[in-house]
Structure 1
Amino acid sequence: MSTVNQAGDRLKVALCTREYPPEVYGGAGVHVEYLAKELSKHVALTVHCQGADRPTAVAHQPWDRLENDNPALQTISTGLSMVAAMGDVDLVHSHTWYANMAGHLTSLLYGIPHVLTVHSLEPLRPWKAEQLGGGYALSSWCERDAVENAAAVIAVSNGMKADVLSTYPSVNPDKVRVIHNGIDAQQYAPDPDTEVLERCGVDPHRPNVVFVGRITRQKGVPVLLRAAAQLDPEVQLVLCAGQPDTPELALEVTDLVNNLRATRSGVIWIEGMLDRHEVIQLLSHATAFVCPSLYEPLGIVNLEAMACGTAVVASNVGGIPEVVADGETGLLVQPDEPQALADALNTLARDPQRAEAMGYAGRQRAISEFDWTSIASQTATLYHEVANSAVKPVDG
């Protein structure tokens, strides 16, 4: 059923985000892509994003005069452009700090409710100071003001909700709603072909573990590379990893990869962006997908691996235990413990039948519990509740 406003029309919603296809580099961008597709069945939806012009969304760019300044300033200027363009909607829904301030200011300027989805929290990612410098203080300020003043906050996991309430104790727990990330299990499905493996140099006859993600402290790539030194010799490591946060982190990861390659074969680092088909095929043929994150509110990439029928070895942090059932769809280990990570990966590499059974169970779990149709319906229901409870300012 469609969500309607007080006039009986379909509720007009502006979804504001940094990432939107074709410019998607992280889990939040994937979330917005699939959520928007399903939400458009419930509300009159317009997506406002950042980056190059595209036919599927209203794109906004930073001010030219800030092109050589701190990235956080550029983001804030882009947000102001969004605010100017969102005056004709009933509700605004923002994703990540990159768009949260736009949602908050839109709410203040036009007197409409702001719903905010929390995919992570800036105070829990202190390593971002390496990337943004003083801009990290600005990103933290943008997030804090938006979260504390939003009409409703969507947390992508129960772990994320707990983090919101402990980080921002002034937030009323009643306005924080848990709505998980989802997966399109028709698109993310086991792919029997192997041409991508062969092109990337992955031997389909040897066990392999796959990582997909950005090179950032949060994702624990150095932890994985230290663990890889303890993997059984026949196990291949496939790193689909790019976009390092800082030159220093890029150098650290490069040194670790080079040291590994000096001692073992089967270390494959794919630095360029892969398309979805390529990622799906690599995941489908992995003995295990590995997620060594130090901080992860949910980890949508774990759902992608599970939907491809692959066992997951992941850190027992944040919302990951709500996705990966330990001992059933994968194995959970404590974060930042390379030896424990290596032991879990070796366990599955030595027992391919167990890994296969976990992969099968993971796909069934992804299908039954993380469907985007249900997630969009829950989100539209929240819109309805917020819109009906909002009090419009009286002119005069």
Structure 2
Amino acid sequence: NVAEHSKFDRKQYFYPDLPKNYQISQYDEPIAEDGWIEVEVAEKGKETYLKRIGIERLHMEEDAGKLVHAGSDRLAGSTHSLVDYNRAGVALAEIVSKPDLRTGREAAEYASEIRRIMRYLGVSDGNMQEGSLRCDVNISVRRGPDAPFGTKVEIKNMNSFSAIQKACEYEIQRQIKAYEAGEPVVQETRLWDEGKQLTKSMRSKEGASDYRYFPDPDLGPIEVSPAQRSAWHAELPELPAAKRHRYADELGLSIYDARVLTDERPMAEYFEAAVAAGADAKGVANWITGDIAAYVNANRLSYATLPLRPQQLAEMVQLIETGVISGKIAKEILPELLEQGGSPKAIVEARGLGMISDPAAIEAIVDALLAAHPEEVEAFRGGKTKLQGFFVGQLMKQTGGKADPKLANQILNKKLAG
């Protein structure tokens, strides 16, 4: 719920990463509250399930600097500390989640879905390794759904979705083992050590900090009218979750393909443009999620500037669907299309790569092939049916892979049967 009225506050604290000794933030009147995101969770060994994760609030604030400790990854043990102020003062949005996450996998999927939404909206590139998206996790365990929560521990320094999942899983087990051994779980901040695959203590938290918030006198309140909210809502693009459901329900794609295609908005738009050009959705999806995605990622390209345009991909898929070329021929011409673009149909015609679909022509080739391999024919008819693959391979070799596979198999079966 986007608030009609919100304001900025000053959060007072003294630390080297904030030289003016206060941070512009939002305290009691944030820009948005009480939301949710639905995520698809694929736990190992379990069926994929949907889970709704509640959002307590979203507030705006300014970023602080970054402390770099020389000689150690934390203050303790370092020889000196440096402060990188490049990001200080940059606007950011902080999302506070409700305690609905139960596993490391759910936490990773939730963070991943937030990044997808941010990228679709053009709010952020969401690159965790560059600090555009940062996540802290608060973990506590309890003996059952009705039991009180245990001591809360905060985890920092997770720079990937995989790290989020592993850090949560490790910390959950660490706390369970501590309780089972009768040891106390201390309220503290811990760091995830990627190298050692464990969390380690950073600093203790003995009580809630008093930041002495008060309204920022230099910044006016934010007023958002219902009409403005409606206008913004109308401008929203179709979000990833809605796209995934549509691709699966209306286009018949697998859940996996729908997830891959909607992970990045440019890929989804490329896919939809190819389908709009008249190609079969499943055929287009197979090429994009396979060879094309591999090429784009390996060469760090964008779909917007890829030489192979969506309409040209659609043309290639249609050539396969109509039997003009085989999938093998399509793979043969794809590198040129990816590098230079162009008409697949024109390339096929110029090189004479169209499939041989004349039954008489294929029958003549099969007759010559069987006459050249009488021993293999006799062995096949004697029960060694695996030789079928040998004959198919020889036929494709002689035709340069251009024989219609379905027709070729039909004629081969008929001739081999005697």
Q: Is TM more than 0.5 here?
A: no
Higher relative contact order (CA 8 A, sep 6+): 1
TM range (shorter): under 0.3
Q: Larger C-alpha radius of gyration, 1 or 2? A: 2
